Structures are given as structure tokens and as C-alpha cells.
Structure 1
Amino acid sequence: MKNKQDIIPFTGYQKIVVFILAMTQFTVILDFMIMSPLGDMLMKSLDLKPAAFGVAVSAYAFSAGISGLLTAGFADKFDRKKLLVFFYSGFIIGTVLCGLATTYPMLLAARIITGLFGGVIGSISLAIIADLFALEQRGRVMGFVQMGFGASQVLGIPIGIYVANAWGWESPFLLTAGLGLIIAIVILLQLKPVNQHLLVQRDTSALKHLWHTVAKRDYRIGFAATAVLSVGGFMMMPFGSAFAVNNLGLTNAQLPILFMTSGICSLVIMPLIGRLSDKVSKFKLFTIATIWLMVVCVIYTNLSTTPFYLVLVFNVLMMMGMLSRMVPSSALTSAVPDMADRGAFMSINASLQQIAGGIAATAAGIIVVQKTKFSPLEHYNTVGYVVVAISALSIFLLFRVSQIIARKNTNKTVVPEAAAEMVLSEGI
């Protein structure tokens, strides 16, 4: 356990970087998360079955996953700032197209375009964090950057729902794109080039670099942990608002309050969890949070008509579990790759995360059944049981990741000592 005085403070520029990455995460997460609270509205407006809506959600995830795999070999070949600007610009364009869509096929195409660009931004951000921040700082960085998740619920989603109720489901996407344009200008003006990784490149071919990254056993364990975590996280989310309205008895007017309350909870919890994960074992913190989530998940998915205040309580408890495992798992996974491989590793990792999420959303759409537009969702509790089983597997995989990090840290200590002994012996 680290002492308080061992916590490394941020420099002024590092604080600016954290703010920039948190804001990009805010818009990207908002663009993806808004699909869930708009789910009931979209399903009724476009006359969609749960399976069709699941495809609309997973379209973003699958295209993001494919994009990440295609760009992984190039991720360490360019200045990370330039990559961030390029993909964030494409994300903004895709979000505008979502707002202009008038039919289900147009929306599907727009989600695919948005995913092709937006799905890579998270991996670029993680690579920048790994390049500019020490491992002892990354828990706090992840905590602040992941606050975009909470902020999207406190501000973005409630405002998005209000705007959607007033001007249609398309309007939140246009609002997100407008905010994204402002953030893109800030990135151009404030973020310095991030190119130190170019000095340690060994692979001349992008394809060769991709292969070398995938071929490393330790990296594959990290990939597997991320994929399993994503399946558990994505399965419940797409039908969250539909379950709340049709099963728990909430109204559309209560949804903004529900998401805002959960989001405020996130904003409070994330920095605390980030700071805690830099002080205690990240794996132990993850394990406790996962077990917490498993219990709450089973109870929540088996609820029927429930008083609004109890729905609020369960959502906050579930959010606590989700966020408390997100921060330590992200921090641990970021320590797996070497600097020369970080861009490729993060791209592949993000791709698998998105693809696994797409599979999860599609699977949830197949499991969940709704007989009419206004009837309760059936088999949502089955989704909850699947999430519990997958969460148990994620504990084992992240344990393997923590072993890899411990071994790397041991080698870093032993190798310099061995080198020093060799120099001394040769000198003698």
C-alpha cells in the first residue's frame, strides 16, 4: 500500500491534458450512451422490435471494432495528437449525420460512420495517458477522464432527453456535434504533439507491427480481459430505459431525473475511486466492485413495478459497482504494453471492447422479447444472470493481468540491479 506522500502530483500541462481527454470522452460516451435513454422513443417512433434496436446499438460497436483493427498497425506510426484530431473530426461528422437521419436505414448507416471514427478515440486517449503519466498517476487520470461517463449522465443525457421530447430524437445528436466542434478547436490550440513513441519504433511495416502486437502472449491476456469486461457491461445497457418504462413503471419525464441522479453519483465516486486505486491493490478493488455489481444486477433485473425512489437507489448502487471496476481495470490494462506497442495495443484493445459490446447488445436483443410497443420486456432477468457469469470470468482474467504487471515491475527492479553488479565486477 502506498503512503499519502508517495502520490505524484500533476503538472499544469498534465491537468490541461486530463481536461481535454475528459471532454473528448464526454462527447464520445454521450453519443453512444444517448441511444439507451432514447431507446423507448426510437422503438416507438421508428416502429422497431428489440432485435432491430439491438442492431442499431451494435452497428456503432461493430464498426468501431473494425476501425480499430484496421488502424492498429498505424497507431504508433504518427503523432498521437494528429490521430486524435483526425478521428475526432470524423466522429463529429458522423454524429451530424445521425441527427439528420429520418429513417432506420439512414440511422444505421450514420451509426456505422460514427463508430468508424469514434471507436478509435478512446484507444488514442489511453495511449496518450500511458505516454504522459506514470502508472502511479493513472488511477487518478482514469478517474477524471472517466468522469465523462458521469458527466454525460448528469448533463448530457437529461438535457438530451428534454431536447428530444421538445424537438425529436434527432436533436441530441446535433447538440453533441456542436459541442464536439468546440472541443476540437481546444485540442488544436492546447494539446502539444505526442510523439516520443516514434523514437522507439522497431517495425517498419504497419502489418508487421500489428502482428508483433497480437503475437505477444501477455497482450492477448489483456485483450481477453477487456473483451469479457465489455460483454458484461454492454448487455444490460441498451434496454435500460425500455425496462425502466415498461417494467418498473417509470414515465418519460422521470427518466432524466434517473440518469441525472446516477450521473451525479458518478461524478462524486470517480475521483475517489481513482485516488483509491493509486493507493491500494487495483485488482482487489476491482474484485470487490465486481461482486457488488453481480449482487445488485440479479436483484434489479428481477424487479417489477417499483416505486421511483427505489429505482433511483438501485441505479446508484449499480453505477457504483460499474464505475468502481472500470477505473482499476483500465489502469491495470494500460500498463500491459511497452511504449513502442501502446498505440497498437490500445487500438486492438478498443476494437475488441467494441466488438464484444456489439455482440453483447445483439445477444441482449435476441434474449429480450417485447410483444407490443407498450408491453413489459420479457427475459431481461436472463440477461442479468448472463452478466453475473461473465463478471465472474472477468475476475479471473484481470487476476492474470495483475500478475503480468507484477512480473514486469519485478523485472524492472531486478535488471538494473543485475546490470549494476556486472559493471562493479568488471571494474574490480
Structure 2
Amino acid sequence: MKNAIPFTPYQKLVIVLLTLTQFSVVLDFMIMSPLGDMLMKSLDINTQQFGLVVSAYAFSAGTSGLLTAGFADRFDRKKLFVFFYGGFIIGTLCCAISTTYPMLVAARIVTGLFGGVIGSISMAIVTDLFPIEQRGRVMGFTQMGFGASQVLGIPIGLYLANFWGWEAPFFLVVGIAVVLMFLIWTGMQPITAHLAFQRKKNALEHLWHTIKKGHYRAGFAATALFSIGGFMMMPFGSAFAINNLHVTQQQLPLLFMVSGIASLVVMPLVGKLSDKTDRLQLAIIFTFFMMIMVAVYTHLTPYPLPVIIMLNVLMMICLIGRMIPSMALITGVPEMQDRGAFMSVNSSLQQIAGGIAAAVAGMIVVQETKTSPLKHYDTVGWVIIGVSMICILLLARVSSIVKEKAKNAAPVMPKVDVIPEM
């Protein structure tokens, strides 16, 4: 195994800020699920309308990624990050003060337009400030935002909503985000090294220049397909647990909380392992075990709660764990001058693919009544397994691209931003 390169104090600060930012953005998305029943009753909306509220975020986030890709490499990444994070805060605040269904849909669209770009800018910052030998660990820490949102998002969201109404969780996200905005503005250094590589192209030319590169498209395809697994299963995870596995509404927060805690513990370990071993091999191992767990879980019948929790935890660890070495590998594809555009397109396709996956899963899964078991959830599992096999082939292509790029790298690299010691 390779020896891991230690982080500088400033790098550690950046990791903390990016992880907390990821937590706030994912929390905003995660709290929609447990608030579903309360929102439908408070705003007098039906299940189809609530589905639109959820999907509005994903599709607007995907659209935003494409719209911003052309100029994502033309500005200081810190300023771009602050701008879109500020828009995310405004969108989330609009969600909290919405009083009608159209207002809530509009607020979710605004939140998606800004929040959907934050992940891609974060990835560009990671690729600028961290060599590829460190990125697995960075991905492991930033993915903790997802696990933390499961641990805190559902229980705290329900707790606050029960006491102060469904608006309270959104106000919580706004409060967290405002504090983080101040810390980012005062603690993060300007990130401008990529500006020295810019060519005189307008936004559309830069976008087309990024999309037309064949090796970039391999990374895009791998990211889009890797996102399908989670997005196909998540929309119906609660309904399957309650109606098929006989988990009660009171037990459901515990199921999500334990999965989230397991993610918090395991993800940094996977990230560290990703920096010490071959990332392709690690991703294949996690994908293989994920396919087994998906097949088992989607065919599951009622069992004691501890068994269901254990299987859910194993499946979630595999679903998220395969993403860490995969995304760390994919960040090695773009050149410095294209990183912002590449990550924007990458994030956009991930969101759009997720929205399509959720819609396809909705066409596959059938529930005759509101309390009857879900049918064809096992078919969703088989689709995920088939797509995962294609993902392995695409990731193998990405791995060969990254290795070839490293082999052909010039011996003298351009000077980049010096990471200050703090």
C-alpha cells in the first residue's frame, strides 16, 4: 500500500468547510421526505403534486449545472462558491415562508438552481487544492455530509416540525448556512490558479470545448450511471420499509439514523483506503457487494427490526462507498483550465440522471392502495444491478484515461496557488 500524504492545517480547514456545506445542502434535500405528509395536509396538495415538488429541485439543479458550466472556470472559485451558496440560502428561506403550492414549487426551483451547482464548485476546489493522492480521503470526509444529514435531518426535521410546523426545518438550514457563509468568506483563500490557463472563449464555446472531448464524456457517463442506484431506491425506501417490511412510522427514524451513523464511521475509512489502493479495484469490490445487497434487500420480506437495520446499513455503505473511489478517480480526468466546467456538467448530468431514475422507478413500482405492499420493487433492484455492470466498464475506461494522463504529464508543472499554513 502507498503511504498517505498528510493534510496541511489549511487543507483541513477547507475539508471541514466543504463537508459542512455539503451537509447543509443535502439536509435541505433530505428533509423533504419526512415532511411529505405534513406538507400535503398543510398546503392541501396530493401525492403527484408533492412528487413535482421533489423533482423540481433535481431538474432545476441539473439545468443550472449546464447553464453555469461555460463560465465556471472564469472566476475565483471562492467568489463563485459564495455567490451560489448565497442563492441557496435565499431559496431555502423562500421555502420556509411559502404559503401555497405554487410558491413552494417556485422556491424549490430557485433552491435547486443555486444549490445544484455548489457540489460541482466544491469538486473543482478539491481538484485545485488537493493532489489526486489525497482526494479519496477528501471524498470520504465530504461524503460524511450525506450520512450526517440522515442522522440529523430526519429526526431533527420531524422533531422541529412537530413542535413549530413544517417551516421550522427550513429555517434551521438557513441558520446553519448563514454561519457557514461567514466562515467561508473569512477562512477560505482565493482560488485563482486555473485563471492562468484560460483561453479567449465565450461561455458557450467553453462549454462545447468541454463536452466534445471524448475522454471527458467517459467521466460524465460514469457519474450519471453511478447516481442511478440511489435515486431509483430512495423515493420508495420508506414506503417499502413500512408496507413490505412492516417497519412502523415510529421505527423509521431509527432505521435512517443507524444507516447514517454507519456512513459517518465508514466513509472516512473508505476514503483513506482509496488513497492507498487501486481505486478501480476498490470501486469494483464495493459495486459487487452492492449488487448482492440490492438483490437481497429488494426481495426482502418482514423480518425482526435488527435484521432489517443490518441489511439496510450494509446496502447503504456499499451504495455510498463505491462513490468515493469512483469520484476520486473521475476528478483526475479534466485539465485544470476545464475543471469548473467539467464538474458543472458532471453534477448536472448526475442530477438529471437521478431525476430520470426516480421517474422510471415510479413507473415500475406499483401500489394498489396507500397501505398495500409495493409491487415490482425487486424489478428496480435488477435494473440497478444491470446498470452497475455497465458502470464498471465505464469506470475501467476512466481509470485507463487517468493513468495515461499521469504517464504523459510534463515533468515541469505550472505553478499553482501555495496552500498557506495556518
Gap change, CA 1:252 and 1:21, over 3 Å in 2: same
Question: In the alignment, is residue 24 of structure 1 matched against residue 21 of structure 2?
Answer: yes
Bigger mean CA offset, 236-245 vs 157-166: 157-166
- Report the counterpart of residue 162 of structure 2 in structure 1: 165
Q: 1:315-349, CA deviations, whole angstroms, 9 ceiling, x for partnerless residues?
A: 11011101210110110111100000000000000
Question: In the alignment, is residue 288 of structure 1 matched against residue 291 of structure 2?
Answer: no
- Of residues 172, 186, 197, the one that matches 1:200 is 197
Q: Is the 8 A contact 2:70 2:206 kept in 1?
A: yes
- Of residues 334, 338, 342, the one that matches 1:337 is 334
**Equivalent residue of 2:322, what SS?**
helix
1:410 to partner: Cα distance = 1.2
- Report the counterpart of residue 314 of structure 1 in structure 2: 311
CA distance in 2, matches of 1:121, 1:58: 18
- Report the counterpart of residue 48 of structure 1 in structure 2: 46
Gap change, CA 1:33 and 1:318, over 3 Å in 2: same
- Report the counterpart of residue 268 of structure 1 in structure 2: 265
CA distance in 1, matches of 2:139, 2:63: 25
**Equivalent residue of 1:59, what SS?**
helix
- Report the counterpart of residue 223 of structure 1 in structure 2: 220
- Map 1:368-379 to 2 at 5 A: 368-379=365-376
Bigger mean CA offset, 148-157 vs 20-29: 148-157
Q: Is the 8 A contact 2:38 2:166 kept in 1?
A: yes
CA distance in 2, matches of 1:105, 1:299: 40
- Report the counterpart of residue 422 of structure 1 in structure 2: none
- Of residues 99, 119, 122, the one that matches 1:122 is 119
Q: Is the 8 A contact 2:135 2:328 kept in 1?
A: yes
- Report the counterpart of residue 63 of structure 1 in structure 2: 60
Question: In the alignment, is residue 398 of structure 1 matched against residue 395 of structure 2?
Answer: yes
Runs of at least 5 residues in structure 1 that lack an aligned partner in the other structure = 418-428
- Report the counterpart of residue 81 of structure 2 in structure 1: 84
1:44 to partner: Cα distance = 6.7
Runs of at least 5 residues in structure 2 that lack an aligned partner in the other structure = 413-422
Q: Larger % of helix: which?
A: 1
Tell me how many residue pairs correspond in the alignment: 411
1:163 to partner: Cα distance = 2.1
**Equivalent residue of 1:123, what SS?**
helix
Q: 1:247-273, CA deviations, whole angstroms, 9 ceiling, x for partnerless residues?
A: 222222222211111111011101100
Q: Is the 8 A contact 1:22 1:148 kept in 2?
A: yes
Counterpart of 1:354, as a letter, is Q
Q: 1:172-202, CA deviations, whole angstroms, 9 ceiling, x for partnerless residues?
A: 2221122111111111111111111111111
Q: Is the 8 A contact 1:229 1:394 kept in 2?
A: yes
1:42 to partner: Cα distance = 4.9
Q: Is the 8 A contact 2:45 2:101 kept in 1?
A: no
**Equivalent residue of 2:52, what SS?**
helix
Q: CA RMSD in A?
A: 1.8
Q: Is the 8 A contact 1:20 1:183 kept in 2?
A: yes
- Of residues 333, 349, 353, the one that matches 2:346 is 349
1:52 to partner: Cα distance = 4.4
Gap change, CA 1:366 and 1:381, over 3 Å in 2: same
TM-score (norm 1): 0.92
CA distance in 2, matches of 1:122, 1:225: 17
- Of residues 310, 322, 325, the one that matches 2:322 is 325
CA distance in 1, matches of 2:309, 2:353: 28
TM-score (norm 2): 0.93
- Report the counterpart of residue 295 of structure 2 in structure 1: 298
Gap change, CA 1:380 and 1:292, over 3 Å in 2: same
Bigger mean CA offset, 332-341 vs 320-329: 320-329
CA distance in 2, matches of 1:42, 1:305: 29
Gap change, CA 1:203 and 1:376, over 3 Å in 2: farther
Question: In the alignment, is residue 411 of structure 1 matched against residue 395 of structure 2?
Answer: no
CA distance in 2, matches of 1:369, 1:95: 32
- Report the counterpart of residue 112 of structure 1 in structure 2: 109
